[in-house]
Amino acid sequence: DSGVTQTPKHLITATGQRVTLRCSPRSGDLSVYWYQQSLDQGLQFLIQYYNGEERAKGNILERFSAQQFPDLHSELNLSSLELGDSALYFCASSDGGSNYGYTFGSGTRLTVV
């Protein structure tokens, strides 16, 4: 167990729908990162939050949004889903003050049908 908890592990939904992926960071970590792993794009950085505030944005679609709550858990919201959004979504956390390599969760596998 890495200490980073992602739920659900698997999600199957239809095109046009909206889903929410949840991430609980490792205890004490203030930063949360979201990554998307797809067959055609590889591992891509989506967004980072630090202590509740957005810190950096990557290749995140406008249909996607995220937030980090006061208890530091984070949610990634994906809306108007398309077949191409099918991917493995990873959350990672770090203490935010160093870069010793952050800890990844086990991922949420999203399948859009």
Partner 1 sequence: AQKVTQAQTEISVVEKEDVTLDCVYETRDTTYYLFWYKQPPSGELVFLIRRNSFDEQNEISGRYSWNFQKSTSSFNFTITASQVVDSAVYFCALTKTSGTYKYIFGTGTRLKVLA
**Under the rule (CB under 8 A), what is the footprint of partner 1?**
2, 31, 33, 35, 42-45, 48, 55-56, 58, 88, 90, 92, 94, 99-107, 109
DSSP character string of 2-36: -S-EEE-SEEEE-TT--EEEEEEPPTT--EEEEEE
Nearest distance from residue 80's CB to partner 1, in Å? 25
Which residue number, 33 or 64, has a Cβ lying nearer to partner 1?
A: 33
Which residue number, 79 or 96, has a Cβ lying nearer to partner 1?
A: 96
Residue 8 makes CB contacts below 8 A (sequence gap 6+) with 21, 108
Which residue number, 19 or 102, has a Cβ lying nearer to partner 1?
A: 102
Nearest distance from residue 82's CB to partner 1, in Å? 22
Question: How would you class 91 by CB atoms within 10 Å of its CB: exposed for 0-12, middle for 13-18, buried for 19 or more?
Answer: buried
Nearest distance from residue 16's CB to partner 1, in Å? 26
